[in-house]
Amino acid sequence: MTNRNVNNTLMELAMSISNRSALPRAAVPGLMALFGGVLGPPQKKLLRKTLEDGSVNKGGNKVINTWIDSMRASSPTRSAKSTQNNQNQDPTSPWTLYHPSALSMFDHIVCESKGKQIVTFLDYDGTLSPIVADPDKAYMSKKMRATLKDLARHFPTAIVSGRCLDKVYNFVRLAELYYAGSHGMDIKGPTNKRSTKKGNEQVLFQPASEFLPMINEVYNILVEKTKSVPGAKVENNKFCLSVHFRCVDEKNWASLGEQVSLVLNEYPKLKLTQGRKVLEIRPAIKWDKGKALEFLLESLGYANSDNVFPIFIGDDRTDEDAFKVLRRRGQGIGILVSKITKETDASYTLQDPTEVGQFLRHMVEWKRTSSQYQKLDSR
Ligand SMILES: O=P(O)(O)OC[C@H]1O[C@H](O[C@H]2O[C@H](CO)[C@@H](O)[C@H](O)[C@H]2O)[C@H](O)[C@@H](O)[C@@H]1O
C-alpha cells in the first residue's frame, strides 16, 4: 500500500467513525492521529519548528529576545517558506492529511451541517483581502463583496477582525453583516431576540471600554517613539494597537521590539501578541475572537443549541482562539487560510483569499440549490 493509500484509508476510517458517532467533523484529524500516529518524528519536528509562538510578553531583555525570535519566526525566509509550501501542497503530507482543503472536502462539510443553522465568521486581513504592504490599502475585491452579500442572505455572517470596527466596516461596506472589531472587543451584532421584546435592536458590546484612554495614551507614545524606525507604522484600532514591521528592515526589528517593550513595561494592564509582521497591543482581559464568536452565537439565540454549525475562517494566530472554541464545543469547523504549514486548531485549510471566495460561493450555490429542491419537494 502506498503512503497515499494509507492516508486515504485512515481519513476514510476516521470520517466514517465521526459520521456514525456523535463526534463532530473536527474530531477527524484527532481520530487519525489515534489510529496511526501518522506523524513520524521528522514531520513532528517540522511542525514543532514551524510553531508560531503567540505568547504574551511583559518586558525585560530576555523577553525582548524572545520577541525578536518570535518576530523572525512569524516571517519565515523564502527557503523555509518553500519547504512549508511543499508540505502544504503535497496531498500525502501529514499537514494535508490533518488539515485537508475545505474545497475538496466541501461535500463532507455540508453533509456534516445537515439540519443545522450555519453561521459564518470571517476574519478580514489575509482572509477576505490579500495581505498588502500598506494596511490602509487592504481592499477587498468587488467579487468578494458580492459573494459576502449573497452569503449573508442565506446565513448569519460576521466579520471578526483585529481592525477597529469602523475601519473594517469601511472596507467591507455591507450593512447586513455583523461586525466584531478590535479582536472582538467592539461588537455590533444582532439582538438576542429571545431575551428582548424590542426585536431588531442591535447588540453593542465593548468589554474593554475602560481601556480607551490608556490605549490612546500608548498610541501617542508609540507614534513618537517609533518615528526613528524607518517603515514602522502604528495603527490605532480603538481598543488595541498594531505596530507594523512589514516595511521595517530586519536589522531594525530588534530596536523596534525594544522600543515597544520599554513602553509596555509602564503599562502592565496591556499585553502583547503577534500577528503577521505586526505586534499587537491590547488590554490584558480574558476576551478574544473565541469569546466574540460565543457572544455572537448567544446573541443569535444559539447559546446552548445543538442545531448550529459555526464556520470560522481566518489566517492569523488570533483566529486560533476561535478555532479552539469550536473544538471545545465540538461544533462546526475552523478553516485556516494558509499556504504554509502552521500549528493550528483548525480542521481544514484554504490557501488564500481567492480560495476563501470560492468556498463561500460554493456555500451560496449549495444553499440555493438545496432550497430549490425543498420547494419542489413541498409541492
Ligand atoms: O484580524 P485581522 O482582520 O486579520 O487583523 C489583523 C491585523 O490585520 C492588519 O494587518 C495585516 O494586514 C495588513 C494589510 O494586508 C498587512 O500590511 C500587515 O502586515 C498584516 O499584519 C491590520 O492592519 C492590523 O491592524 C490588524 O491587527
Which tens digits make up the pLDDT trace of 96-148?
888 999 999 999 999 999 999 999 999 999 999 999 999 999 999 999 999 99
User: Annotated catalytic sites, by residue?
Assistant: 123
Determine the Cα–Cα distance for residues 138 and 214; give it in Å rounded to an integer. Answer: 27
Which regions of the chain are under pLDDT 50?
Answer: 1-10, 13-14, 16-27, 29-60, 62, 77, 191-198
> Is residue 332 within 8 Å of residue 309, measured between CB atoms?
yes
Residue whose CA lies nearest to ligand 1 atom number 21:
276
Tens-digit pLDDT profile for residues 284-305: 999 999 999 999 999 989 998 9
Residue whose CA lies nearest to ligand 1 atom number 4:
125
- Is pTM beyond 0.95 here? no
Tens-digit pLDDT profile for residues 330-352: 999 999 999 999 999 999 999 99
Q: Is the CB of 75 under 6 A from ligand 1?
A: no
Domain ranges of the chain: 106-207+287-378
Q: Is the CB of 125 under 6 A from ligand 1?
A: yes
The CATH code of domain 106-207+287-378 reads 3.40.50.1000
- Residue type at 99 in one-letter notation: H
| C-alpha cell at position 241 | 494597537
Residue whose CA lies nearest to ligand 1 atom number 13:
135
Q: CA 353: distance to chain centroid?
A: 12
Dist. CA 138 → ligand 1 center (Å):
8
Q: 319 vs 45, 148, 242, 300, CA distance in Å?
A: 24, 19, 16, 21
Among 298, 304, 340, 353, smallest CA distance to 123 is for 353
Q: Which atom of ligand 1 is nearest to the CA of 123?
A: 3
The chain-wide mean pLDDT, for the chain, equals: 82
